[in-house]
A and B are shown apart, each in its own frame.
Chain A
Amino acid sequence: MKYLVSHDGAEHTLEIEDLGDGGFRVEVDGKVFDADFRSTGAGPIVSLILDGRSYELLVLTDGPKVDVIHHGLGVELLVETEREYHARMVSAAGGEAGEEDVRAVMPGIVVRIQVEEGDRVERGQALLVLEAMKMENEIRATTTGIVGRIAVEAGQTVDAGDLLLELTGDPDAASP
């Protein structure tokens, strides 16, 4: 089975052959390795022996997004089957520009809203202030545009990923 892994702009091809009982033959960018891969019984902490070299890793998956932490360092990877990879390439080509939802990047409390519906805002302008653990964090516009619907009000508690407001790209604005 073939997978494509993106890391920091680079792409790697991995081909997996399952030999059973935790054993695998793995081809990484054309080079072949023997892998012995086991759960440790402690959730996402896994043990890998790759051509005799032993690694303990923390592997956190969220669909194709995989974070791997070991040796005190971390990498963020996108692991896709060939089909998933090609599907993503197609959808990326047809993406819409100029419209975006501004979402909470962290759970917190909306302290104040610094714009009104219909306002024209510049890229980088402060839209609202979100507080988490007593720190205030300014949420800024990532594009120049017009503020559409504001979905929250001051004092409201929000979760990561919640819609804060809609921002529509301004046709008169120079594209960044």
Chain B
Amino acid sequence: MSPEVRPLKKVLVANRGEIAVRIIRACRTHGVECAVVYSDADRTTRAVRLANEAVRIGPPEARLSYLDPERILDAARQVGADAIHPGYGFLAESAEFARSVREAGFVFVGPSADAIDAMGDKINARRRMKEAGVPVVPGKEAEAFDRDSLAEAAESIGYPVMLKATAGGGGKGIRIVWEESELWSAYEQSVGEAEKAFGNGTVYMEKALEEPHHVEFQIFGDRHGHVVHLFDRECSVQRRHQKVVEESPSPFLTPALRAEMAEAAVAAAKAMDYDNAGTVEFLVDKHRNFYFLEMNTRLQVEHPVTEMVLGVDLVAEQLRVAAGEPMSFDQTDLVPHGHAIEVRVCAEDPDRNYMPAVGTVQALTVPAGPGVRVDSGLAPGLEVTLHYDSMLAKLICWGTDRDQALGRLKQALSEFKVAGLKTNIPFLGAILRDERFAKGHYDTGFLSDFQPPEMREDLLRAALVAAVLTRHGGALGATARAASAPSCGMDPWKALGRWKRLGRP
């Protein structure tokens, strides 16, 4: 089964934000031309500015632009691309899209449509994994529940139970239910969310495990029959089922457990005849039992921590494999070195329970230094709207051990400043300074009872003084005042106060 090798000449990036930038970098690094699509909201973004070509595909609404397969295919034809990279989110896990891309004569940078189909439906995925001998969480699958069958299923599995969209991903459509009185309204919400996000409202039920850890294995396959794993990532710092911090290796796994799980991950991938990048997600309970959670048939947001400890470029590898070539490494080449931790910087308002925030980036300081990597779509002037995901950038730090990686990450995060909209940077800083996190003793419940540490006395004093002097209006020296004063003569400090309201209609 030797597939035809068809070197890629031009890739269309069917995504936006930091991941579009990431893919463009991989293309340009390897001498592959790249074009990016953009909606009217994204004309001046970094991805558009960095690509060789850019194609307008529609209005800001995702369903009329990034989620419309026809517009993506038209764009690919227009620029004469030979491949389409979907990134993550949007159409990345649509089997139908993968199929129509290939039927239209393009290379789809990702796995087979059959693998996406099989893993995209979580009920089907559970079944396939059981057959492959991979352990799954006890649960109940049904096309639709009514009040009685739902209560019955929860009773037989035992509270707490999780409700999950079968077509799910990214934490959407997930509810945890502790008692029967909450069950039906949680089910209705989960169905509603799933219908909206995935166009499929089927929801299934699973047992919620004791102090579970979310640990996943990066896997990779090619069309020459090779499948490898690229070790683990601990992703247990989650809020509302969204990952916030990820690291590799997991501080929780023992070497024996790591080897056992890696073997299960490879077995899962082989059962699917998997090619290209994928991730097998597991839950590990406090007794170190592990269960298959789901398989993501795409590049993950948190792929950089794996790249940092293994010294590989997963996006470049995706392009290589998509062209029909064998992977550039085999299992024995993959030896992890050191430790990497990633935080996701999001536009979120801590005053409003970390709801998505909007605004225009007015000023920006991006960290750098040894072992520091920033994957970002941020630029001064960037307008953050409600049309897309709230993630702005990822900050990843590598060290020879976990302490060094964490030290670098704390320093880098303290240098990271985004003005013009609210971000979760202070929240991330608080997590990194938490004693349990520092020791690596945390599970997926970590953020539910998280208390941010107090600000040190001298730091608080500096904050008080800076706040008062800012209000006092005395910060600007004569030259700075002249340079930054708006022409209408408005007090520049009043203008600063208004910045965070900019960008709202």
Q: Which residues of A are in contact with B by a Cβ distance under 8 Å?
A: 1, 3, 5, 7, 12, 14, 16, 18, 21-22, 24, 26, 28, 33, 35, 37-39, 41-46, 48, 50, 53, 55-64, 66-77, 79, 105-108, 111-112, 126, 129, 131-138, 159-160
Q: B435-487: which have CB < 8 Å to A?
A: 452-453, 455-456, 458-472, 474-478, 480, 483-484
* Given pairs A37-B466, A71-B456, A75-B460, 17 additional interface contacts (CB within 8 A): A3-B472, A5-B467, A7-B464, A33-B461, A37-B474, A50-B462, A61-B471, A61-B497, A66-B467, A71-B414, A72-B413, A72-B414, A73-B455, A105-B355, A107-B504, A132-B356, A133-B389
A75 near B463 with CB under 8 A, answer: yes
B497 neighbours in A (Cβ, 8 Å): 60-63
- A interface majority secondary structure: strand
**B44 contacts chain A at the CB level, 8 A cutoff:** no
A79 near B467 with CB under 8 A, answer: yes
B472 near A59 with CB under 8 A, answer: no
B426 near A133 with CB under 8 A, answer: no
A137 neighbours in B (Cβ, 8 Å): 355
B495: nearest chain-A partner, CB-CB: A43
CA distance A104 to B353 in the complex (A): 12
From B185, B419, B425, B480, give the contact of A41 (CB < 8 A).
Answer: B480
A24 near B358 with CB under 8 A, answer: no
A14 neighbours in B (Cβ, 8 Å): 464-465, 468
B465 near A35 with CB under 8 A, answer: yes
A7 near B460 with CB under 8 A, answer: yes
A sample of 29 cross-chain residue pairs with beta-carbon separation below 8 angstroms, ordered by A number, consists of A16-B474, A22-B477, A28-B461, A33-B465, A37-B465, A41-B484, A43-B363, A43-B484, A46-B475, A48-B469, A53-B462, A61-B497, A63-B497, A66-B467, A69-B426, A70-B459, A71-B456, A72-B410, A72-B414, A75-B460, A79-B467, A79-B471, A106-B352, A106-B355, A131-B196, A132-B355, A133-B389, A134-B193, A136-B196
CA distance A60 to B357 in the complex (A): 14
Number of interface residues of B (CB under 8 A): 78
**B390 contacts chain A at the CB level, 8 A cutoff:** yes
A43 near B419 with CB under 8 A, answer: yes
CA distance A153 to B504 in the complex (A): 21
A48 neighbours in B (Cβ, 8 Å): 462, 465-466, 469
A62 neighbours in B (Cβ, 8 Å): 497, 500-501
Q: Given A37-B469, A74-B350, A42–B197 Cβ distance below 8 Å?
A: no
B464 near A42 with CB under 8 A, answer: no
A57 near B433 with CB under 8 A, answer: no
Q: Given A45-B419, A105-B353, A66–B362 Cβ distance below 8 Å?
A: no
A59 near B365 with CB under 8 A, answer: no
- 1/0 per residue B385-423: CB within 8 Å of A? 010111000000000000000000010011111111010
CA distance A59 to B386 in the complex (A): 24
A66 neighbours in B (Cβ, 8 Å): 467, 470-471
B240 neighbours in A (Cβ, 8 Å): 135
A111 neighbours in B (Cβ, 8 Å): 192, 196
B386 neighbours in A (Cβ, 8 Å): 107-108, 132-133
Q: Given A58-B419, A133-B356, A43–B362 Cβ distance below 8 Å?
A: yes
CA distance A112 to B416 in the complex (A): 39
B185: nearest chain-A partner, CB-CB: A126
A57 neighbours in B (Cβ, 8 Å): 462-463, 466
B389: nearest chain-A partner, CB-CB: A133
Closest CB in chain B relative to A69 CB, distance in Å? 5
B4 neighbours in A (Cβ, 8 Å): none
**B496 contacts chain A at the CB level, 8 A cutoff:** yes
A107 neighbours in B (Cβ, 8 Å): 356, 358, 386, 504
A77 near B464 with CB under 8 A, answer: yes
Closest CB in chain A relative to B93 CB, distance in Å? 14
Closest CB in chain B relative to A142 CB, distance in Å? 13
B477 near A21 with CB under 8 A, answer: yes
A160 near B352 with CB under 8 A, answer: yes
Closest CB in chain B relative to A16 CB, distance in Å? 6
B172 near A45 with CB under 8 A, answer: no
CA distance A61 to B171 in the complex (A): 33
From A16, A44, A55, A159, give the contact of B496 (CB < 8 A).
Answer: A44
- 1/0 per residue B172-206: CB within 8 Å of A? 10000000000001000100110011000000000
From A50, A72, A73, give the contact of B465 (CB < 8 A).
Answer: A50
A28 near B419 with CB under 8 A, answer: no
Closest CB in chain A relative to B341 CB, distance in Å? 13
B349: nearest chain-A partner, CB-CB: A106
CA distance A16 to B188 in the complex (A): 56
A38 neighbours in B (Cβ, 8 Å): 475-477, 480
B363 neighbours in A (Cβ, 8 Å): 42-45
A161: nearest chain-B partner, CB-CB: B504
Closest CB in chain B relative to A53 CB, distance in Å? 7
A8: nearest chain-B partner, CB-CB: B454
From B193, B432, B472, B505, give the contact of A16 (CB < 8 A).
Answer: B472
**B428 contacts chain A at the CB level, 8 A cutoff:** yes
Closest CB in chain B relative to A61 CB, distance in Å? 4
B192 near A73 with CB under 8 A, answer: no
Closest CB in chain B relative to A154 CB, distance in Å? 11
A5 near B499 with CB under 8 A, answer: no
CA distance A72 to B478 in the complex (A): 30
Closest CB in chain A relative to B348 CB, distance in Å? 10
